[in-house]
Amino acid sequence: MNTAMRLQKLRNSLSEKNVTALLVTQPENRFYLSGFYGSAGYLLITADKALLATDSRYVEQAGRQAPNYQLFESKNDLHKWLPEFLCGLALKELAFEAESLSFWHYSQIKNIVKPLGIALVPVNGLVENLRTGKDDDELALIKKAVSLSDAAIEHMRNTMHIGMSELEMAWEIEKHMREHGSETLPFEVIVAAGCNAAIPHHHPCDYIIKENEPIIIDIGAKCGGYISDLTRTLFLGQEDAQFHLVYNTVLQAQTAAIENIRAGMSGSEADRMARSVIDANGFGDKFGHGLGHGIGLAVHEAPRIGAISKDILQNGMTFTIEPGIYLPGWGGVRIEDSVVLENGRIKTLSTAGK
């Protein structure tokens, strides 16, 4: 991980925005910029300094993982160590990550830095925006995670049978990914059969799968911290007209999005590529979520792809394309691939059959 280059890019961005110092508290941002993946710590980045404060549990680990940072052990409570941490930097303003810092944490920091003559300035998305452009190493890890979720869905397609419960299927899938190299899963495996498939984020339960019902399986693997996200809707038995109609509508919508999304579009324009197909087939009000979301260190990160997203899609971004139709009382269909935007167009990373 080239944290020196990431720090340089961040500094360019800070300079453009006239931010003299940024306090980084968001966990994925902390990891992205420093390589340190402990669960607690603060980065402080200025034009010429990169500091990392963490407590005794993580000091040794942080020293190993974040060699580009000057290490500081945060002892006792914030009121004691923060002034010392900031001492010598001669700051007048300190930017903080407003989307992740809690109001309470913000209030505490404000009370501490005000007497030091430092004003807190809320900022959003500075590091998140850097994170949207994946480098080759990041893309390689995402592809590895994608191949693990692809293999797990094919494994399930070949081994599932009437009589298995959603929970049994979910665990079988999880074991397959973990035993083939996935780190702890980025989110719980979703297996939603029959009526449960009408709930986009259903938790698997002891419901026994039957013939002639849709079965939505939504899974992700993780490699080196980077994740994949994949959904397939499977079916055991004889597909009826309703399933056929719903499935083909979702598939057409996804295909249209994959073929027509271009670099330079906004998230809402991209969303429209799929949503217009679903609308045209009369299911517009049954597709209640956005078309997709960025993937990387987080399952949901920038860019957002939905009806009101102004994020601009750019080459190097990795995200999902996942239209769905949900019919309470019947079930649902969702088809999701992880993709990357390359040379202005969508390249699908997942290879699992549809």
Residue 287: closest CA among 239, 244, 336, 222? 336
Q: Quote the least distance from Cβ 120 to a second copy, whole Å.
A: 9
Contact between 238 and a second copy by CB under 8 A: the answer reads no
Contact between 308 and a second copy by CB under 8 A: the answer reads yes
Largest CA distance in the chain: 72
Report 104-133 residues binding a second copy (CB under 8 A): 104-107, 122, 124
Q: Quote the least distance from Cβ 48 to a second copy, whole Å.
A: 27
- Residue 17 has φ and ψ, to the nearest 5°, of -95, 10
- Residue 284 has φ and ψ, to the nearest 5°, of -50, -40
Contact pick of 16, 18, 48, 77 for a second copy (by CB under 8 A): 77
- Residue 144 has φ and ψ, to the nearest 5°, of -65, -45
Residues 6+ apart with CB under 8 A from 336: 218, 229, 230, 231, 232, 254, 292, 320, 321, 322
Q: Between residues 98 and 263, which has the closer beta carbon with respect to a second copy?
A: 98
Contact between 96 and a second copy by CB under 8 A: the answer reads yes
Contact between 310 and a second copy by CB under 8 A: the answer reads no
Contact between 98 and a second copy by CB under 8 A: the answer reads yes
Write out the two tokens for 163: 């009589």
Residue 323: closest CA among 268, 285, 280, 271? 271
> Around 150, how many Cα atoms within 13 Å sit in the side-chain half-sphere?
15
Q: Between residues 89 and 98, which has the closer beta carbon with respect to a second copy?
A: 98
> Around 46, how many Cα atoms within 13 Å sit in the side-chain half-sphere?
14
Write out the two tokens for 259: 């073929």
Contact between 175 and a second copy by CB under 8 A: the answer reads yes
Contact pick of 328, 344, 348, 351 for a second copy (by CB under 8 A): 328
81-85, long-range: CB within 8 Å, 24+ apart, which pairs? 81/53, 82/109, 82/112, 82/113, 83/112, 83/116, 85/42, 85/44, 85/51, 85/53
**Pattern 135-174, a second copy, x by CB under 8 A:** ------------------------------------x---
**Pattern 37-66, a second copy, x by CB under 8 A:** xxx---------------xxxx-xx-----
Q: Between residues 287 and 341, which has the closer beta carbon with respect to a second copy?
A: 287
Q: Between residues 282 and 288, which has the closer beta carbon with respect to a second copy?
A: 288
Contact between 202 and a second copy by CB under 8 A: the answer reads yes
CA torsion sign for 102, 108, 113, 118 is positive
Q: Quote the least distance from Cβ 18 to a second copy, whole Å.
A: 20
Contact pick of 24, 86, 101, 215 for a second copy (by CB under 8 A): 101
As a whole number of angstroms, the distance between CA 280 and CA 249 comes to 9
Q: Which stretch binds a second copy (CB under 8 A): 93-101, 130-138, 157-165, 247-255?
A: 93-101
Q: Which stretch binds a second copy (CB under 8 A): 151-159, 178-186, 212-220, 274-282?
A: 178-186
Contact between 212 and a second copy by CB under 8 A: the answer reads no
Q: Quote the least distance from Cβ 60 to a second copy, whole Å.
A: 5
Contact between 289 and a second copy by CB under 8 A: the answer reads yes
Assess whether the previous peptide bond of 303 is cis (omega < 30° from 0). Answer: yes
Interface ranges with a second copy (CB under 8 A): 37-39, 55-58, 60-61, 76-77, 96, 98-107, 122, 124, 171, 175, 178-179, 184-185, 188, 198-203, 288-289, 307-308, 326, 328
